[in-house]
Amino acid sequence: MTKARLDGLQMVILGCVFFVAIGALMEYFNPLRMTDFLQIYASSRCIAQHHDPYKPDELLAFVQSDTGGIPTDSSVVSRTYRKIVLIAPNLPTTLFLIAPVAALTWKWAVVVWMALVAACFIVACFCVWKIGADSAPRLYGGLILLILINSGLLLETGNTAGLAVSLSVIAACCFLQDGVVGRFVPIAGLVCLAVALAMKPHDAGPVWLYFLLAGGVQRKRALQSAALTAVIIVPAILWVAHSAPHWAPELQSNLAQGLAAGGLNNAGPTTQGGRGIGQIISLQAVLSLIRDDPRFYNTVTYFVCGIMLLLWCVRTLRIGYSVRMAWLALAAISALTMLPFYHRSYDARLLLLAVPACAALWLEGRNRDGPATGFSMLGPSALVLTLAAIILTGDIFWVVLFQITHYSRTSVVFGMIPGPLILLAVAIFYLCVYLRSAPTSQINP
Protein backbone atom coordinates (compact mmCIF):
# COMPACT_ATOMS: atom_id res chain seq x y z
CA MET A 1 0.00 0.00 0.00
CA THR A 2 1.40 3.39 -1.04
CA LYS A 3 1.60 6.25 1.42
CA ALA A 4 -1.02 8.20 -0.50
CA ARG A 5 -3.42 5.28 -0.40
CA LEU A 6 -2.76 4.77 3.31
CA ASP A 7 -3.38 8.47 3.98
CA GLY A 8 -6.69 8.31 2.11
CA LEU A 9 -7.76 5.18 3.96
CA GLN A 10 -6.91 6.76 7.30
CA MET A 11 -9.04 9.80 6.42
CA VAL A 12 -12.02 7.59 5.66
CA ILE A 13 -11.56 5.57 8.87
CA LEU A 14 -11.22 8.77 10.90
CA GLY A 15 -14.38 10.09 9.27
CA CYS A 16 -16.23 6.90 10.21
CA VAL A 17 -15.19 7.30 13.86
CA PHE A 18 -16.33 10.93 13.93
CA PHE A 19 -19.57 10.06 12.12
CA VAL A 20 -20.57 7.50 14.73
CA ALA A 21 -19.39 9.63 17.67
CA ILE A 22 -21.08 12.84 16.48
CA GLY A 23 -24.30 11.02 15.59
CA ALA A 24 -24.41 9.29 18.99
CA LEU A 25 -23.80 12.58 20.83
CA MET A 26 -26.47 14.38 18.81
CA GLU A 27 -28.92 11.58 19.57
CA TYR A 28 -28.11 11.71 23.27
CA PHE A 29 -28.36 15.47 23.81
CA ASN A 30 -31.21 16.38 21.42
CA PRO A 31 -34.63 16.26 23.13
CA LEU A 32 -36.18 15.38 19.75
CA ARG A 33 -33.81 12.46 19.16
CA MET A 34 -34.87 9.52 17.00
CA THR A 35 -38.31 11.00 16.33
CA ASP A 36 -38.28 9.94 12.67
CA PHE A 37 -37.44 6.38 13.64
CA LEU A 38 -40.04 6.40 16.43
CA GLN A 39 -42.67 7.30 13.84
CA ILE A 40 -41.75 4.34 11.62
CA TYR A 41 -41.27 2.01 14.59
CA ALA A 42 -44.64 2.90 16.12
CA SER A 43 -46.47 2.73 12.79
CA SER A 44 -45.07 -0.69 11.95
CA ARG A 45 -45.95 -2.07 15.40
CA CYS A 46 -49.39 -0.49 15.09
CA ILE A 47 -50.09 -2.43 11.89
CA ALA A 48 -48.72 -5.63 13.41
CA GLN A 49 -51.31 -5.23 16.18
CA HIS A 50 -54.08 -4.69 13.58
CA HIS A 51 -54.49 -0.94 14.05
CA ASP A 52 -54.41 1.85 11.45
CA PRO A 53 -51.28 4.04 11.85
CA TYR A 54 -52.44 6.50 9.20
CA LYS A 55 -55.16 7.73 11.59
CA PRO A 56 -53.44 10.06 14.12
CA ASP A 57 -55.91 9.36 16.95
CA GLU A 58 -55.59 5.60 16.55
CA LEU A 59 -51.80 5.82 16.34
CA LEU A 60 -51.66 8.03 19.45
CA ALA A 61 -53.76 5.59 21.47
CA PHE A 62 -51.59 2.70 20.35
CA VAL A 63 -48.29 4.45 21.09
CA GLN A 64 -49.38 5.52 24.56
CA SER A 65 -50.44 1.98 25.41
CA ASP A 66 -47.47 0.34 23.72
CA THR A 67 -44.51 2.52 24.70
CA GLY A 68 -45.86 5.65 26.38
CA GLY A 69 -43.38 7.46 24.18
CA ILE A 70 -45.31 10.69 23.47
CA PRO A 71 -44.78 13.60 25.90
CA THR A 72 -48.06 15.05 27.15
CA ASP A 73 -46.97 18.52 28.31
CA SER A 74 -47.57 21.71 26.32
CA SER A 75 -43.95 22.62 25.57
CA VAL A 76 -42.69 23.36 22.06
CA VAL A 77 -40.63 20.16 22.14
CA SER A 78 -43.69 18.12 23.10
CA ARG A 79 -45.87 19.67 20.37
CA THR A 80 -43.19 19.12 17.74
CA TYR A 81 -42.62 15.59 18.97
CA ARG A 82 -46.30 14.76 18.60
CA LYS A 83 -46.53 16.29 15.12
CA ILE A 84 -43.59 14.24 13.86
CA VAL A 85 -44.61 10.93 15.39
CA LEU A 86 -48.39 11.00 15.02
CA ILE A 87 -48.67 12.04 11.35
CA ALA A 88 -47.63 8.92 9.43
CA PRO A 89 -46.04 9.94 6.08
CA ASN A 90 -44.27 6.67 5.28
CA LEU A 91 -45.12 4.23 2.52
CA PRO A 92 -46.45 0.76 3.36
CA THR A 93 -43.24 -0.72 1.96
CA THR A 94 -41.21 1.18 4.56
CA LEU A 95 -43.36 -0.10 7.40
CA PHE A 96 -43.18 -3.62 5.99
CA LEU A 97 -39.39 -3.61 5.66
CA ILE A 98 -38.89 -2.19 9.15
CA ALA A 99 -41.18 -4.79 10.76
CA PRO A 100 -38.35 -7.12 11.92
CA VAL A 101 -36.70 -4.23 13.78
CA ALA A 102 -40.04 -2.96 15.07
CA ALA A 103 -40.66 -6.37 16.61
CA LEU A 104 -37.91 -5.58 19.14
CA THR A 105 -38.40 -3.52 22.27
CA TRP A 106 -37.73 0.20 21.83
CA LYS A 107 -34.38 0.07 23.62
CA TRP A 108 -33.00 -2.67 21.39
CA ALA A 109 -34.68 -1.37 18.25
CA VAL A 110 -32.84 1.96 18.59
CA VAL A 111 -29.49 0.18 18.93
CA VAL A 112 -30.13 -2.12 15.97
CA TRP A 113 -31.44 0.69 13.75
CA MET A 114 -28.54 3.04 14.50
CA ALA A 115 -26.07 0.22 13.89
CA LEU A 116 -27.77 -0.67 10.59
CA VAL A 117 -27.79 2.92 9.33
CA ALA A 118 -24.19 3.49 10.42
CA ALA A 119 -23.01 0.25 8.82
CA CYS A 120 -24.75 0.93 5.49
CA PHE A 121 -23.49 4.51 5.27
CA ILE A 122 -19.94 3.49 6.14
CA VAL A 123 -20.04 0.72 3.51
CA ALA A 124 -21.30 3.27 0.95
CA CYS A 125 -18.39 5.58 1.79
CA PHE A 126 -15.85 2.78 1.44
CA CYS A 127 -17.40 1.74 -1.89
CA VAL A 128 -16.89 5.25 -3.23
CA TRP A 129 -13.36 5.50 -1.79
CA LYS A 130 -12.39 2.19 -3.42
CA ILE A 131 -13.17 3.66 -6.83
CA GLY A 132 -10.43 6.28 -6.45
CA ALA A 133 -8.12 4.43 -4.07
CA ASP A 134 -5.47 4.11 -6.78
CA SER A 135 -5.93 7.31 -8.79
CA ALA A 136 -6.60 9.97 -6.11
CA PRO A 137 -6.78 8.35 -2.66
CA ARG A 138 -6.14 11.53 -0.67
CA LEU A 139 -8.69 13.60 -2.58
CA TYR A 140 -11.31 10.88 -2.24
CA GLY A 141 -10.41 10.41 1.41
CA GLY A 142 -10.66 14.12 2.18
CA LEU A 143 -14.04 14.57 0.49
CA ILE A 144 -15.49 11.46 2.11
CA LEU A 145 -14.12 12.52 5.50
CA LEU A 146 -15.94 15.83 5.14
CA ILE A 147 -19.17 14.07 4.19
CA LEU A 148 -18.92 11.67 7.13
CA ILE A 149 -18.37 14.30 9.81
CA ASN A 150 -21.35 16.25 8.43
CA SER A 151 -23.75 13.30 8.53
CA GLY A 152 -24.47 12.81 12.23
CA LEU A 153 -28.11 13.75 11.64
CA LEU A 154 -28.60 10.41 9.86
CA LEU A 155 -28.09 8.69 13.21
CA GLU A 156 -29.71 11.36 15.38
CA THR A 157 -33.08 11.35 13.59
CA GLY A 158 -33.11 7.73 12.48
CA ASN A 159 -34.74 8.78 9.20
CA THR A 160 -34.90 6.12 6.48
CA ALA A 161 -32.81 8.42 4.27
CA GLY A 162 -29.82 6.93 6.07
CA LEU A 163 -30.61 3.56 4.52
CA ALA A 164 -32.10 4.67 1.19
CA VAL A 165 -29.22 7.00 0.30
CA SER A 166 -26.58 4.51 1.43
CA LEU A 167 -28.13 1.64 -0.52
CA SER A 168 -28.48 3.82 -3.64
CA VAL A 169 -24.79 4.70 -3.51
CA ILE A 170 -23.79 1.08 -2.90
CA ALA A 171 -25.92 -0.03 -5.85
CA ALA A 172 -24.37 2.54 -8.19
CA CYS A 173 -20.87 1.49 -7.18
CA CYS A 174 -21.75 -2.18 -7.69
CA PHE A 175 -23.15 -1.58 -11.18
CA LEU A 176 -20.30 0.67 -12.31
CA GLN A 177 -17.62 -1.82 -11.29
CA ASP A 178 -18.97 -4.48 -13.64
CA GLY A 179 -16.13 -6.51 -15.16
CA VAL A 180 -13.81 -5.56 -12.30
CA VAL A 181 -15.57 -7.52 -9.58
CA GLY A 182 -17.24 -10.90 -9.31
CA ARG A 183 -20.80 -11.79 -10.25
CA PHE A 184 -22.09 -11.41 -6.70
CA VAL A 185 -21.50 -7.66 -6.53
CA PRO A 186 -23.99 -6.63 -9.27
CA ILE A 187 -26.58 -8.92 -7.64
CA ALA A 188 -25.98 -7.15 -4.33
CA GLY A 189 -26.51 -3.88 -6.20
CA LEU A 190 -29.88 -5.10 -7.47
CA VAL A 191 -31.05 -5.88 -3.95
CA CYS A 192 -29.77 -2.59 -2.54
CA LEU A 193 -31.42 -0.48 -5.23
CA ALA A 194 -34.71 -2.37 -4.92
CA VAL A 195 -34.87 -1.81 -1.15
CA ALA A 196 -33.94 1.87 -1.58
CA LEU A 197 -36.68 2.31 -4.19
CA ALA A 198 -39.21 0.69 -1.87
CA MET A 199 -38.24 2.93 1.05
CA LYS A 200 -37.61 6.33 -0.55
CA PRO A 201 -38.35 6.42 -4.29
CA HIS A 202 -37.71 10.17 -4.45
CA ASP A 203 -34.10 9.55 -3.33
CA ALA A 204 -33.32 6.32 -5.20
CA GLY A 205 -35.58 6.89 -8.22
CA PRO A 206 -33.30 9.25 -10.18
CA VAL A 207 -30.32 6.91 -9.67
CA TRP A 208 -32.45 4.06 -10.98
CA LEU A 209 -33.56 6.26 -13.90
CA TYR A 210 -29.97 6.73 -15.05
CA PHE A 211 -29.39 3.00 -15.36
CA LEU A 212 -32.73 2.58 -17.12
CA LEU A 213 -31.87 5.22 -19.74
CA ALA A 214 -28.23 4.16 -20.15
CA GLY A 215 -29.24 1.00 -21.99
CA GLY A 216 -27.51 -2.33 -22.37
CA VAL A 217 -26.82 -4.42 -19.32
CA GLN A 218 -27.49 -1.41 -17.06
CA ARG A 219 -31.06 -1.13 -18.32
CA LYS A 220 -31.51 -4.83 -17.67
CA ARG A 221 -30.35 -4.31 -14.09
CA ALA A 222 -32.66 -1.35 -13.64
CA LEU A 223 -35.61 -3.45 -14.79
CA GLN A 224 -34.55 -6.31 -12.52
CA SER A 225 -34.40 -3.87 -9.59
CA ALA A 226 -37.88 -2.60 -10.46
CA ALA A 227 -39.18 -6.17 -10.58
CA LEU A 228 -37.66 -6.92 -7.18
CA THR A 229 -39.22 -3.73 -5.82
CA ALA A 230 -42.59 -4.95 -7.07
CA VAL A 231 -42.00 -8.19 -5.18
CA ILE A 232 -41.61 -6.08 -2.02
CA ILE A 233 -44.59 -3.83 -2.78
CA VAL A 234 -47.21 -6.56 -3.19
CA PRO A 235 -46.92 -8.22 0.26
CA ALA A 236 -46.37 -4.82 1.88
CA ILE A 237 -49.66 -3.46 0.55
CA LEU A 238 -51.52 -6.64 1.45
CA TRP A 239 -50.11 -6.50 4.98
CA VAL A 240 -51.02 -2.86 5.50
CA ALA A 241 -54.42 -3.07 3.79
CA HIS A 242 -55.52 -5.79 6.19
CA SER A 243 -55.32 -3.36 9.14
CA ALA A 244 -55.71 -0.06 7.26
CA PRO A 245 -57.98 -0.62 4.23
CA HIS A 246 -58.14 3.13 3.50
CA TRP A 247 -54.41 3.74 3.87
CA ALA A 248 -53.98 5.43 0.46
CA PRO A 249 -56.30 8.45 0.99
CA GLU A 250 -55.23 8.65 4.64
CA LEU A 251 -51.56 8.75 3.63
CA GLN A 252 -52.33 11.40 1.04
CA SER A 253 -54.12 13.46 3.69
CA ASN A 254 -51.17 13.16 6.08
CA LEU A 255 -48.72 14.26 3.39
CA ALA A 256 -50.94 17.21 2.45
CA GLN A 257 -51.18 18.26 6.09
CA GLY A 258 -47.40 18.34 6.44
CA LEU A 259 -46.95 20.30 3.21
CA ALA A 260 -49.75 22.81 3.86
CA ALA A 261 -48.96 26.38 4.93
CA GLY A 262 -47.46 26.32 8.40
CA GLY A 263 -47.02 22.56 8.27
CA LEU A 264 -44.00 20.68 9.45
CA ASN A 265 -42.77 19.98 5.92
CA ASN A 266 -43.92 23.15 4.19
CA ALA A 267 -41.17 24.89 2.23
CA GLY A 268 -42.45 28.40 2.90
CA PRO A 269 -41.26 30.91 5.50
CA THR A 270 -44.13 29.97 7.85
CA THR A 271 -42.95 26.36 8.08
CA GLN A 272 -42.77 24.79 11.53
CA GLY A 273 -40.01 22.34 10.74
CA GLY A 274 -38.14 23.45 7.63
CA ARG A 275 -35.52 25.65 9.28
CA GLY A 276 -32.48 25.10 11.43
CA ILE A 277 -30.58 21.83 11.61
CA GLY A 278 -31.95 19.41 9.04
CA GLN A 279 -33.63 22.20 7.09
CA ILE A 280 -35.59 21.73 3.86
CA ILE A 281 -33.26 22.02 0.86
CA SER A 282 -35.70 21.92 -2.06
CA LEU A 283 -35.65 24.94 -4.37
CA GLN A 284 -39.10 25.98 -3.11
CA ALA A 285 -37.52 27.04 0.20
CA VAL A 286 -35.69 29.90 -1.53
CA LEU A 287 -38.43 30.85 -3.96
CA SER A 288 -40.98 31.02 -1.14
CA LEU A 289 -39.02 33.93 0.33
CA ILE A 290 -39.76 35.85 -2.86
CA ARG A 291 -43.45 34.94 -2.91
CA ASP A 292 -45.05 32.60 -0.40
CA ASP A 293 -47.49 31.01 -2.80
CA PRO A 294 -47.26 27.33 -3.76
CA ARG A 295 -48.58 28.14 -7.22
CA PHE A 296 -45.57 30.39 -7.72
CA TYR A 297 -42.71 28.51 -6.12
CA ASN A 298 -43.85 25.07 -7.26
CA THR A 299 -44.38 26.21 -10.86
CA VAL A 300 -40.97 27.89 -11.09
CA THR A 301 -39.24 24.95 -9.42
CA TYR A 302 -40.85 22.36 -11.68
CA PHE A 303 -40.09 24.45 -14.77
CA VAL A 304 -36.40 24.95 -13.95
CA CYS A 305 -35.78 21.42 -12.74
CA GLY A 306 -37.91 19.93 -15.52
CA ILE A 307 -35.77 21.53 -18.22
CA MET A 308 -32.58 20.33 -16.55
CA LEU A 309 -33.93 16.82 -16.11
CA LEU A 310 -35.09 16.71 -19.74
CA LEU A 311 -31.64 17.71 -21.00
CA TRP A 312 -30.08 15.10 -18.71
CA CYS A 313 -32.42 12.36 -19.94
CA VAL A 314 -31.92 13.17 -23.62
CA ARG A 315 -28.15 13.21 -23.21
CA THR A 316 -28.18 9.88 -21.38
CA LEU A 317 -30.35 8.25 -24.05
CA ARG A 318 -28.16 9.53 -26.88
CA ILE A 319 -24.74 8.55 -25.59
CA GLY A 320 -25.68 5.30 -23.89
CA TYR A 321 -23.58 3.81 -21.14
CA SER A 322 -19.93 4.27 -20.30
CA VAL A 323 -18.28 4.38 -16.90
CA ARG A 324 -16.69 7.72 -17.72
CA MET A 325 -19.96 9.46 -18.47
CA ALA A 326 -21.93 7.59 -15.82
CA TRP A 327 -20.17 9.38 -12.97
CA LEU A 328 -20.80 12.78 -14.55
CA ALA A 329 -24.48 11.89 -14.98
CA LEU A 330 -24.77 10.69 -11.39
CA ALA A 331 -22.97 13.76 -10.05
CA ALA A 332 -25.51 16.00 -11.80
CA ILE A 333 -28.54 13.99 -10.71
CA SER A 334 -27.33 13.65 -7.10
CA ALA A 335 -27.77 17.41 -6.68
CA LEU A 336 -30.73 17.86 -9.02
CA THR A 337 -32.70 15.16 -7.16
CA MET A 338 -32.83 17.35 -4.04
CA LEU A 339 -34.42 20.38 -5.71
CA PRO A 340 -37.91 19.73 -7.14
CA PHE A 341 -39.51 17.82 -4.25
CA TYR A 342 -39.45 17.80 -0.46
CA HIS A 343 -35.99 16.89 0.83
CA ARG A 344 -34.04 17.70 3.96
CA SER A 345 -30.32 18.15 4.41
CA TYR A 346 -29.70 14.53 5.38
CA ASP A 347 -30.99 13.44 1.94
CA ALA A 348 -28.12 15.38 0.40
CA ARG A 349 -25.66 12.69 1.52
CA LEU A 350 -26.43 11.42 -1.97
CA LEU A 351 -23.64 13.83 -2.93
CA LEU A 352 -21.33 10.88 -2.31
CA LEU A 353 -22.07 10.12 -5.96
CA ALA A 354 -20.46 13.43 -6.98
CA VAL A 355 -17.07 12.53 -5.48
CA PRO A 356 -15.78 10.40 -8.42
CA ALA A 357 -16.71 13.05 -11.02
CA CYS A 358 -15.19 15.82 -8.90
CA ALA A 359 -11.94 13.89 -8.47
CA ALA A 360 -11.82 12.96 -12.16
CA LEU A 361 -12.16 16.58 -13.29
CA TRP A 362 -9.54 17.67 -10.75
CA LEU A 363 -7.07 15.05 -11.97
CA GLU A 364 -7.74 15.91 -15.60
CA GLY A 365 -6.94 19.57 -14.96
CA ARG A 366 -3.69 18.69 -13.17
CA ASN A 367 -2.58 16.32 -15.91
CA ARG A 368 -2.96 18.84 -18.71
CA ASP A 369 0.21 20.39 -20.06
CA GLY A 370 0.67 24.08 -20.79
CA PRO A 371 -1.34 27.07 -19.54
CA ALA A 372 -4.73 26.58 -17.97
CA THR A 373 -7.61 26.42 -20.41
CA GLY A 374 -11.31 26.85 -19.81
CA PHE A 375 -11.74 23.11 -19.70
CA SER A 376 -8.80 22.52 -17.38
CA MET A 377 -10.32 25.00 -14.93
CA LEU A 378 -13.24 22.64 -14.48
CA GLY A 379 -11.21 20.75 -11.88
CA PRO A 380 -10.91 23.62 -9.37
CA SER A 381 -14.50 24.64 -10.09
CA ALA A 382 -15.75 21.11 -9.43
CA LEU A 383 -13.79 20.90 -6.20
CA VAL A 384 -14.97 24.27 -4.87
CA LEU A 385 -18.62 23.65 -5.72
CA THR A 386 -18.63 20.11 -4.36
CA LEU A 387 -16.94 21.18 -1.13
CA ALA A 388 -19.40 24.05 -0.72
CA ALA A 389 -22.35 21.71 -1.29
CA ILE A 390 -21.06 19.20 1.28
CA ILE A 391 -20.56 21.94 3.88
CA LEU A 392 -23.74 23.92 3.28
CA THR A 393 -25.97 20.84 3.30
CA GLY A 394 -24.09 19.22 6.18
CA ASP A 395 -24.55 19.39 9.92
CA ILE A 396 -21.44 20.99 11.40
CA PHE A 397 -21.70 24.42 9.76
CA TRP A 398 -25.31 24.89 10.86
CA VAL A 399 -24.75 23.54 14.36
CA VAL A 400 -21.98 26.09 14.87
CA LEU A 401 -23.90 28.97 13.27
CA PHE A 402 -27.11 28.43 15.21
CA GLN A 403 -25.25 27.95 18.48
CA ILE A 404 -23.49 31.28 17.93
CA THR A 405 -26.64 33.15 16.89
CA HIS A 406 -28.97 31.32 19.31
CA TYR A 407 -31.40 30.64 16.46
CA SER A 408 -32.07 34.32 15.79
CA ARG A 409 -34.73 34.99 13.17
CA THR A 410 -32.16 36.38 10.75
CA SER A 411 -29.90 33.34 10.96
CA VAL A 412 -32.81 30.92 10.71
CA VAL A 413 -34.23 32.61 7.58
CA PHE A 414 -30.70 32.82 6.14
CA GLY A 415 -30.39 29.10 6.73
CA MET A 416 -33.10 28.42 4.13
CA ILE A 417 -31.07 29.99 1.30
CA PRO A 418 -27.54 28.53 0.87
CA GLY A 419 -28.41 24.83 0.66
CA PRO A 420 -30.83 24.92 -2.30
CA LEU A 421 -28.75 27.50 -4.16
CA ILE A 422 -25.48 25.57 -3.90
CA LEU A 423 -27.26 22.39 -4.96
CA LEU A 424 -28.66 24.24 -7.97
CA ALA A 425 -25.16 25.49 -8.83
CA VAL A 426 -23.69 21.98 -8.52
CA ALA A 427 -26.48 20.49 -10.64
CA ILE A 428 -26.02 23.11 -13.38
CA PHE A 429 -22.23 22.72 -13.33
CA TYR A 430 -22.13 18.94 -13.65
CA LEU A 431 -24.99 18.96 -16.15
CA CYS A 432 -23.08 21.41 -18.37
CA VAL A 433 -19.95 19.27 -18.18
CA TYR A 434 -22.05 16.18 -18.95
CA LEU A 435 -23.59 17.86 -21.99
CA ARG A 436 -20.25 19.17 -23.30
CA SER A 437 -18.03 16.15 -22.72
CA ALA A 438 -17.59 13.61 -25.48
CA PRO A 439 -18.19 10.00 -24.44
CA THR A 440 -14.54 9.25 -25.27
CA SER A 441 -13.10 12.14 -23.25
CA GLN A 442 -10.84 11.13 -20.37
CA ILE A 443 -13.28 11.62 -17.54
CA ASN A 444 -12.22 8.60 -15.59
CA PRO A 445 -12.42 8.07 -11.84
Residue 67 confidence (pLDDT): 66
Instruction: State the distance between the two ends of the chain, measured CA to CA, in whole angstroms.
Output: 19
Residue 377 confidence (pLDDT): 82
Average pLDDT over residues 232-256: 95
Q: Which residues contact 234 (CB under 8 A, 6 or more apart)?
A: none
Residue 365 has pLDDT above 90, yes or no: no
Residue 336 confidence (pLDDT): 97
Specify if 444 maps to a domain: no
Residue 16 has pLDDT above 90, yes or no: yes
Report for 276-290, 330-344, 411-425: range of highest mean pLDDT: 330-344
Residue 33 confidence (pLDDT): 75
Residues 170, 397 contacting (CB under 8 angstroms): no
Alpha-carbon gap, residue 54 to 37, rounded angstroms: 16
Residue 184 confidence (pLDDT): 64
Residue 35 has pLDDT above 90, yes or no: no
Q: What is the pLDDT of residues 45-104, one digit of tens each?
A: 999 999 999 999 899 888 888 765 565 555 655 667 677 888 899 999 999 999 999 999
Q: Over pLDDT 90: what percentage of the chain?
A: 68
Residue 287 confidence (pLDDT): 94
Average pLDDT over residues 144-155: 95
Specify if 204 maps to a domain: yes
Average pLDDT over residues 21-43: 88
404 pLDDT tier (thresholds 50, 70, 90): confident
Specify if 88 maps to a domain: yes
Stated pTM of the model: 0.93
Average pLDDT over residues 14-20: 97
Phi, psi of 181 (to 5 degrees): -120, 175
Residue 374 has pLDDT above 70, yes or no: no
Alpha-carbon gap, residue 146 to 348, rounded angstroms: 13
Residues 401, 394 contacting (CB under 8 angstroms): no
Q: What DSSP element (H or E) covers 100?
A: helix 99-102
Alpha-carbon gap, residue 131 to 176, rounded angstroms: 9
Average pLDDT over residues 130-138: 92
Average pLDDT over residues 150-161: 94
Residue 429 has pLDDT above 90, yes or no: yes
Residue 9 confidence (pLDDT): 95
Specify if 253 maps to a domain: yes
Mean pLDDT in the chain? Answer: 89
Q: What is the pLDDT of residues 306-354, one digit of tens each?
A: 999 999 999 999 998 888 899 999 999 999 999 999 999 999 999 999 9
Residue 69 confidence (pLDDT): 58
Q: CA-based angle 217:223:224, to the nearest 5?
A: 85
Residue 179 has pLDDT above 80, yes or no: no
Q: Which residues contact 235 (CB under 8 A, 6 or more apart)?
A: 96
Q: Which residues contact 225 (CB under 8 A, 6 or more apart)?
A: 171, 190, 193, 194, 197, 208, 211
Specify if 442 maps to a domain: no
Q: Each residue of 74-90: b (16+ CB within 10 Å) or e? A: eeeeeebbbbbbbbbbb
Containing structural domain, residue 258: 3-436
Average pLDDT over residues 138-157: 95
Q: Which residues contact 117 (CB under 8 A, 6 or more apart)?
A: 154, 155, 158, 162, 163, 166
Structural domains counted in the chain: 1
Specify if 134 maps to a domain: yes
Specify if 55 maps to a domain: yes
Alpha-carbon gap, residue 213 to 203, rounded angstroms: 17
Specify if 443 maps to a domain: no
